[in-house]
Amino acid sequence: MIIDSHAHLLYYGDDVKRIVDNMENDGLERIVNIGTTVQNSREGIELANRYDKVYATVGIYPEYAASTTEADLKEIDRLAGEDKVVAIGEIGLDYHNGDKDKEAQKRVFEEQIMIAKRHNLPICIHTRGAVSDTYEILKKHQKDIVFPSIMHCFSENGEYAKKFMDLGFYISFSGNITYKKSDRSYLKDIPLDKILLETDSPYLSPMPLRGQTNEPSHIIHTAQKIADEMQIDVEKLIANATANTYRVYKKMR
């Protein structure tokens, strides 16, 4: 059974019930719903409380850093203490559309690292177009981070995969690792005890379903592609990824 370690279930509206009801048939053991704002962090907790096999993270996505207030951060701190909250995330840096909010992003990122520390929770990291700054902040705060933590939807190179693993991070792969232009050359160098699987649904549907709305059930295609690249049985990969996910999200046990 697979754990989807990173999904955005709130985007499905009333269709969430169908997704959760079908989990066993789809080979899914747990789904972790990811927070990106104060409001959907609250809603994610409500969702997790409604379904036994769904858990939640809380956090503020870098895109919203410039408008984030101290009251927002205090609310994330409060929400972090809820029973089914298993991590702070997704947090990090995103310069994809330019870096005009760079300093705000760094401030909100670092403050959420400290929230995670206070609650003894791992962090789930988003980085896009900002890997050097992301790495430097994580290295600076290495003593503050609860490990293992997660590099979500990893799309950097093997050199950075090693650097993040050396800090104490596990590497999580989504459907984009199956795309033709993705660099998969380093997958064979990722230890099996450091890999997680995710969908980042409703985004990044894997091949051969690219272009469709992604769902947690599609995670098997990502698992199969990684297993093929590593030249191992997909069930072996899944077993390791599931065990690794429980090691990160300790409260989910």
Write the pLDDT tens digit of every residue in 60-99.
Answer: 999 999 999 999 999 999 999 999 999 999 999 999 988 7
Instruction: State residue 146's pLDDT score.
Output: 98
Residue 45: which pLDDT band, with cuts at 50, 70 and 90?
A: very high
Residue type, 197: L
Instruction: State residue 98's pLDDT score.
Output: 83
Mean model confidence pLDDT for the chain: 97
Mean pLDDT of 44-54: 98
pLDDT tens track for 177-204 = 999 999 999 999 999 999 999 999 999 9
Q: What is the pTM of this model?
A: 0.97
- Dihedral of CA 172/214/108/182: which sign? positive
Find the angle CA(153)-CA(194)-CA(47) to the nearest 5 degrees. 50
Strands 28-33 and 54-58: parallel
- Dihedral of CA 62/64/69/74: which sign? negative
b/e 130-148 (16+ beta carbons within 10 angstroms → b): bbebbbebbeebeeebbeb
Whole-angstrom Cα distance, residue 86 to residue 62? 20
197 beta partners:
173
**For the range 109-114, what are the long-range contacts, defined as Cβ-Cβ under 8 Å and sequence gap of 24 or more?**
109/62, 109/65, 109/137, 110/137, 110/141, 111/73, 112/59, 112/60, 112/73, 112/76, 112/88, 113/88, 113/137, 113/141, 113/144, 113/145, 114/144
Name the DSSP letter for residue 99: S
pLDDT tens track for 135-148 = 999 999 999 999 99
Contact 21, 15 (CB under 8 A): no
Q: Of 159, 166, 156, 97, which is closest to residue 131 (Cα–Cα)?
A: 156
Domains assigned to the chain:
2-252 (3.20.20.140)
Name the DSSP letter for residue 19: H
